[in-house]
Structure 1
Amino acid sequence: MSAARSFDPGRPWLAPYAPRAASMAASLAQGHDAAAVLSNAAPGIELPAGPLRFVQPDAAPAGEAYEAFIFRTAQVPTRDDLHDFFNGLVWLHFPRAKQRLNELQAGEIARAGIGATRGPLRDALTVFDENGAVLDAPAALWQALLARDWPRLFVSERARWHEARLLVFGHALLEKLAMPRKALTAHVLWAPGAIRSIAIDDAAIAAALAPSHLAAKPFAPLPVLGVPGWWPANEVPGFYDDVAVFRPPRSPRH
């Protein structure tokens, strides 16, 4: 799996995952299959349907939805690529949060089936699972983010980022960050108290995933390479002046 060698586990956004990611990347580089490597790291993680396992991508019966299969079997179909590797890595570190997302997805599928559109809740669940991040930060930073007041968020309030922690949860975003680009943007969920220093409270994140809250799409867009300490270029004056990335607030509709 050559893709597993194309990311740097020392990146700041990978700090919660780094030790395990580095050791598993070494196993993958030796030619071991991603599903087997992830499964070997999963003993002790129990889901309602049984112990968490990572299986080949064709393990699910034809016609059964991916999320429904995981809910029924506790098995995660896993392709041998970086996208599914990061999905497995998030499962290993945050099993309660991932289980919560899965049970909500499976519940919606059981209720409404698979249609042309997902509906507001499944759409929000998918956005967070693929591209989400969790921010535990002072209210002043969250308000600046909601307002897209980038100078306040990243310049005048820069020192307050020492009181904040941002967890990149979405596995598709982690995959994209293997080749960092300034425009990469997370859908951020504010969860005060969910992250304590570098130790992440899996249960608190799971508790923040309330269906009614998620269905309202409570996410704020955050270009992640703007986070202080995450990218050397953001120390340079003018980094945040790029309106193609740090977009101004939307004008109110009349």
Structure 2
Amino acid sequence: MACAEWREALSAYAKAAGLVSGRGRALRFVAPQDLPADTAYEAFIAATGGVPTRPNLHDFFNALIWLAYPLGKAALNARQAVAIATDGVQSTRGATRDAATLFDENAVLFACSDPALGKALRAFDWHTLFVARRADWGRACEVQPFGHALLEKLVAPYPSVTSHAWIVDVPQAYFGWTPLARRAWLDARIAPRLASGPLTTRDFAPLPVLGIPGWWPANHDPAYYRDTSVFRPGRRRTG
């Protein structure tokens, strides 16, 4: 399928679902040359609803995340557009834009019903998270990808691929819902904070994604997690 054809197909899906940009403009996926040279990417999306989409995996995955998490993506788009309008496009982004960019590009949502698992993640306690509590993956915690650059890396994965995990507290009933219902719940949950809540790089916890149970065959062996070049020890605030 040619790039123009899959942009049209994605746009048709977005239209049918009523998806919008950060400023409420009908979402569609447009050719990269539609973005004026003097206009910031996020500002253009917010103002027009057009998402410049190149014929590559990076932009294709970005489009898929717009379809999967439309509320979260629109909230990020609105926040980034406001920051650009306030501060202009600068070589150095502020703290909020840095965090928003990390979320957009490399985040995973660590959905968790047991606070002890989130605590283990923040404490770099890989043995607890991946070995001792391995059976609780899928019934007390799971990871949902959000960052489109992360998805691109996972086309050809390597051991040190590390995401920025955002912990989302979920009810225990969450793990009995369908995948579509889980994703919709997460989308509605994260959007308000992404739109206007506190957002800094300290909100993330590093998570080596090939350590996630079921994501990489080699991690079935507990010895896999002894590679400290990937599963690094660290100290992090837990509050």
Q: TM-score, normalised by structure 1?
A: 0.82
For residues 218 and 126 of structure 1, the distance between their equivalents in structure 2, rounded to whole angstroms, comes to: 13
CA distance in 2, matches of 1:250, 1:148: 7
Aligned-pair Cα RMSD in Å: 2.1
| Aligned residue in 2 for 1:41 | 13
* Larger displacement relative to structure 2 (118-127 or 46-55): 46-55
What residue in structure 1 maps to residue 40 of structure 2? 65
Measured at CA, do residues 46 and 212 of structure 1 come closer, stay the same or move farther in structure 2, by a change above 3 Å? closer
Per the alignment, residue 14 of structure 1 pairs with none
Are the equivalent residues in 1 in contact too, given 2:3–2:55 (CA < 8 A)? no
> In structure 1, what is the equivalent of residue 140 of structure 2?
163
- In structure 2, what is the equivalent of residue 151 of structure 1? 127
1:1-254 matches, cutoff 5 A: 28=1, 33-43=5-15, 44-47=17-20, 48-137=23-112, 138-161=114-137, 162-193=139-170, 196-197=174-175, 198=179, 199-200=182-183, 201=185, 202-209=187-194, 211-215=196-200, 217-250=202-235
Structure 2 residue runs without a partner (length 5+): none
Question: Aligned partners of 1:182 and 1:208: how far apart in 2?
Answer: 31
1:55-78 C-alpha deviation (Å, 9 max, x unpaired): 001101121000000000011000
Distance 1:229 1:61 in 2: 43
One-letter code of the match for 2:155? Answer: A
Structure 1 contact 133–166 (Cα < 8 Å) conserved: yes
Q: Write the deviation string for residues 107-145 of structure 1: whole angstroms up to 9, x where unpaired.
A: 000111111211000000000000001111121111111
TM-score, L = length of structure 2:
0.87
Q: Which amino acid aligns with 1:45?
A: G
Q: Percent identity?
A: 47
Deviation by residue 1:128-179 (Cα, 9 ceiling, x = unmatched): 0000011111211111111101111111121222311211100000011111
Q: Matched residue of 2:79: which SS?
A: helix
Q: Which moved more, 1:81-90 or 1:199-208?
A: 199-208
Q: Distance in 2 between matches of 1:100 and 1:196?
A: 23
Corresponding residue pairs, total = 224
Counterpart residue identity of residue 243, structure 1: T
**1:200-220: CA deviations, max 9, x gaps?**
122112134264531253000
Alpha-carbon spacing, 1:32–1:108, altered in 2? closer, same or farther (3 Å) = closer
